[in-house]
Amino acid sequence: MNHELSTKILAVETSCDETSVSILEGLGKILFHTIHSQADVHARYGGVVPEVASRSHLDVLPLLVQEAFQKISADTVDSYAATVGPGLASALIVGTFFTRALALGMGKPFIAINHIEGHLLSPFFGQETVTSHIALIVSGGHTLLLDVQGVGQYVLLGKTLDDAAGEAFDKVAKFLGLPYPGGIQIDTLAAQGDAGRYVFPRSMLHSGDFNFSFSGLKTAIRVFLEHDHTAFLPDLCASFQEALVDVLVAKAIRAARIHHRSLIAVSGGVSSNSRLQAKMASACSHSGISLQIAEPGLRTDNALMIAFAAAQRMKAGIPAPKDVPIMPNLDLATLCKLG
């Protein structure tokens, strides 16, 4: 049997407000997987509080690992992996140092994983090959467009110059008095509204590059609310959502055409947005492009995508780095340097 396809990897994800532990065998056999969400706690504050997040990770992570080892013997784990960045520094410290200590204590390799690479590869979970494609990563902290040739072979085409798509959803939801996390609330209300009722800016839609900007859209909503207190909430949510989604879809399709890619893969928490899925599917079908979206359980932050990224890097022969510190501001420009 191919060694890489039978290797057991225990992975930990603590980059923000989810504590997740997984044990993956090979590229798709899930031996253990759990996610502890802090959403209810942070909802009281209207957003993620780093100190609260790190304290929760510190309390919960040892219990989740203990639970994992009750199901899968620690002696059978071959490697350990954790998110080292990007993310909240205090949260990354908990996951990275805990996992590195486990690896050291068990005499096993530690694999440092870029959180963004975890999202990027998640639509291919369980597959041996990551085919060339255009990757759109849309989450609370990231909005990125990449040309992907294979594992470890990424070219950054564009990124947000200000707010990430998920951040824009959450901030606009807060303007509207909706609970955190706001993306789901807006998506639900938008389904009952008219997306053509109000016209909001499609920032950088015709900029000629693949960068994004959502701060202007967010400001447009805030200014609109200051002058109109009678707007029908579902119509407002639908109109805002349409403006944001239009830019994501248009730039992804354009990137695929220019770079001659026949596949677009979408990942990250915002990939669950129903309007993004529908408009991307329609645009891809019209353009003769295949579409692959991460499975629902792999869209938000999770350790399975971290384990899968580690497994794919091992399969590609990318060596595990030595003594990698946490890197809260780690980006795609330094991704391949981890190997």
User: What tens digit of pLDDT does each residue of 296-333 get?
Assistant: 999 999 999 999 999 999 999 988 776 777 888 776 65
pLDDT score of 7 more than 50: yes
Q: What is the pLDDT of residues 150-196, one digit of tens each?
A: 999 999 999 999 999 999 999 999 999 998 889 999 999 999 999 99
* Boundaries of domain holding 187: 131-293
pLDDT category of residue 116 using cuts at 50, 70 and 90? very high
**What SS3 class is residue 297?**
helix
**What SS3 class is residue 18?**
strand
pLDDT category of residue 339 using cuts at 50, 70 and 90? very low
Q: How many CA atoms lie within 13 A of 20 on its CB side?
A: 26
Task: Residue 131: name the closest of 113, 149, 108, 105 by CA.
Answer: 149
Which distant-in-sequence residues (6+ apart) come within 8 Å of 148 by Cβ? 120, 130, 132, 133, 134, 135, 154, 155, 265
Burial 72-93 (b: 16+ CB within 10 A, else e): eebeebebbbbbbbbbbebbbb
Both 219 and 323 in one domain: the answer is no
**What SS3 class is residue 185?**
helix
pLDDT category of residue 38 using cuts at 50, 70 and 90? confident
Distance CA 219, CA 317 (A): 46
Q: What is the pLDDT of residues 48-62, one digit of tens each?
A: 777 788 899 999 999
Both 8 and 115 in one domain: the answer is yes
Both 39 and 116 in one domain: the answer is yes
Both 62 and 115 in one domain: the answer is yes
- The DSSP bridge partners found for residue 107 are none
Q: What is the pLDDT of residues 235-250, one digit of tens each?
A: 999 999 999 999 999 9
Both 258 and 135 in one domain: the answer is yes
Residue type, 335: L
Both 66 and 181 in one domain: the answer is no
Q: What is the mean pLDDT of residues 289-299?
A: 97
Both 85 and 57 in one domain: the answer is yes
* pLDDT of res. 338: 45
At 132, list the tokens: 């060339």
Both 100 and 154 in one domain: the answer is no
pLDDT score of 140 more than 60: yes
- Enter the pTM of the model: 0.93
* pLDDT of res. 45: 67
pLDDT score of 336 more than 50: no
pLDDT category of residue 84 using cuts at 50, 70 and 90? very high
Q: What is the CATH number of the domain that holds 286?
A: 3.30.420.40
Both 71 and 217 in one domain: the answer is no
Q: From the centroid of its chain, how far is CA 278? A: 19
* pLDDT of res. 113: 94
Flag the least confident range among 3-12, 94-103, 134-143, 312-321. 3-12
Contact predicate 41/322, CB 8 Å:
no
Both 236 and 326 in one domain: the answer is no
Total number of domains in the chain = 2
**What SS3 class is residue 295?**
coil
Both 169 and 278 in one domain: the answer is yes
**What SS3 class is residue 8?**
strand
Q: Among residues 293, 311, 327, which one ends one of the domains?
A: 293
Q: Which is higher by pLDDT, 98 or 327?
A: 98
Both 137 and 280 in one domain: the answer is yes
3-state helix, strand, coil in the chain (%, to 5): 45, 20, 35
Distance CA 8, CA 24 (A): 6
Contact predicate 37/53, CB 8 Å:
no
* pLDDT of res. 17: 86
